[in-house]
Amino acid sequence: MKDIARNPAAIATFVLFVVIALVPIVAPLIGYGFYVNVFARIMIWSIAAVGLNLIMGYGGMVSFGHAAYLGIGGYTFGILSYHGIDNGFIQWPLALAISAVVAFVFGAVSLRTRGVYFIMITLAFAQMVFFLGASLDQYGSNDGLIIYNRSTFDVGGVGPNLGDRVFFYYLLLALLLLVIFICWRIVNSRFGMVLRGTKSNETRVHAIGIPAYRYRLVAFVISGVIVGLAGILMANLEKFISPDMMNWPRSGELIFMVVLGGMGTLFGPVWGALAFLLLAEILSSFTEHWHLIFGPLLILVVLFGRGGVLGFVERLNPRHA
């Protein structure tokens, strides 16, 4: 504990989570009730970014196509809901299972390639899913589909309903913490050691007799499932799905959140999602053409912002300075 108390990054992250937990209580009182939704969105993107960070930050796999799993999670939920199946116990496992299967197939092919090829093939696979979504005439094709009911978790008439805004918010918080916990366990297990090993030197991992490909593939599937979960949550929050949620700029934004927060750190993705979405929220309130500032700002972050937000906070620590 003494160690944590002296670590600025840990303190900052702790404060952040306290703030997130207080938002639905405090924000409506001071007339900023709108921010409950903003923070719900931040948590959903955080979950997705944590999922991507698992392979990108710890496994060195830069996937430029993770928005596909947002779409797969969202569409599975949305399509089931469209056909009158609102039960979350059916919707969620099915959506996660489909995310896993798709991630397995895409990963199995993509992971045969390296570097730029990997970036581009994941991008192309995601575009494939995007075009598939855009051609589903029954489900709104390009215009998307409005969803009328959020998931219900009824057992015999009683049980939580995601229609309750506050319950949904704290469910998001719990899921975010759960996903971070799972990642922490994965990264520090033997599996995680191998994964990090393949990032720094895959040949050596091979040389000591570990089939690196399989480890990378399993990590890729887990990552896809986590992003699929974020997709379900996003479609539940917005009550809307459209191919745009899996269009390639979403994949780029996801990568940005991971890098912005601090790649290969547990809480970095949360900071990244927070910084990215708040910045977008604030800039867009000033001018309609906020991309003119946002774009160059992102370039500057890439060029000069080593280690992201957490890296910056870390440097405040006198021991490292």
Interface positions with another protein (CB under 8 A): 62, 64, 109, 112-117, 119-121, 123-125, 127-128, 131-132, 134-138, 248-249, 252, 255-256, 259, 289-292, 294-299, 302-303
Question: Between residues 93 and 296, which has the closer beta carbon with respect to another protein?
Answer: 296
156: phi then psi, degrees, rounded to nearest 5: 60, 40
Could you give the dihedral angle defined by the CA atoms of residues 40, 42, 45 and 50, in that order, rounded to the nearest 10 degrees? -110
* Dist. CA 231–CA 238, nearest whole Å: 11
| 3-state secondary structure (DSSP) of residue 187 | helix
Question: Between residues 165 and 306, which has the closer beta carbon with respect to another protein?
Answer: 306
* Dist. CA 16–CA 26, nearest whole Å: 14
* Residues in contact with 64: Cβ distance below 8 Å, sequence separation at least 6, in sequence order: 119, 120, 122, 123, 126, 248, 251, 252, 255
Question: Between residues 10 and 132, which has the closer beta carbon with respect to another protein?
Answer: 132
Q: How far is the CB of 53 from another protein (least distance, A)?
A: 13
Question: Measured on CA atoms in the order 105, 108, 114, 115, is the torsion positive or negative?
Answer: positive
* Dist. CA 48–CA 292, nearest whole Å: 26
Q: Is 270 exposed, middle or buried (0-12, 13-18, 19+ CB in 10 A)?
A: buried
Closest to 90 measured CA to CA, from 101, 103, 80, 100: 80
Q: How far is the CB of 212 from another protein (least distance, A)?
A: 15
Question: Between residues 17 and 294, which has the closer beta carbon with respect to another protein?
Answer: 294
Question: Between residues 90 and 109, which has the closer beta carbon with respect to another protein?
Answer: 109
Q: How far is the CB of 280 from another protein (least distance, A)?
A: 11
Question: Between residues 40 and 219, which has the closer beta carbon with respect to another protein?
Answer: 219
Q: How far is the CB of 289 from another protein (least distance, A)?
A: 5
Question: Between residues 118 and 168, which has the closer beta carbon with respect to another protein?
Answer: 118
Q: How far is the CB of 283 from another protein (least distance, A)?
A: 11
| 3-state secondary structure (DSSP) of residue 246 | helix
CA dist 158 to 90, 113, 148, 154, 155, Å? 16, 49, 20, 5, 6
Closest to 279 measured CA to CA, from 263, 255, 295, 265: 295
Q: How far is the CB of 74 from another protein (least distance, A)?
A: 18
Question: Measured on CA atoms in the order 157, 163, 165, 170, is the torsion positive or negative?
Answer: positive
Q: Is 189 exposed, middle or buried (0-12, 13-18, 19+ CB in 10 A)?
A: exposed
Q: How far is the CB of 291 from another protein (least distance, A)?
A: 4
Question: Between residues 189 and 287, which has the closer beta carbon with respect to another protein?
Answer: 287
Q: How far is the CB of 252 from another protein (least distance, A)?
A: 4
Question: Measured on CA atoms in the order 57, 63, 65, 70, is the torsion positive or negative?
Answer: negative
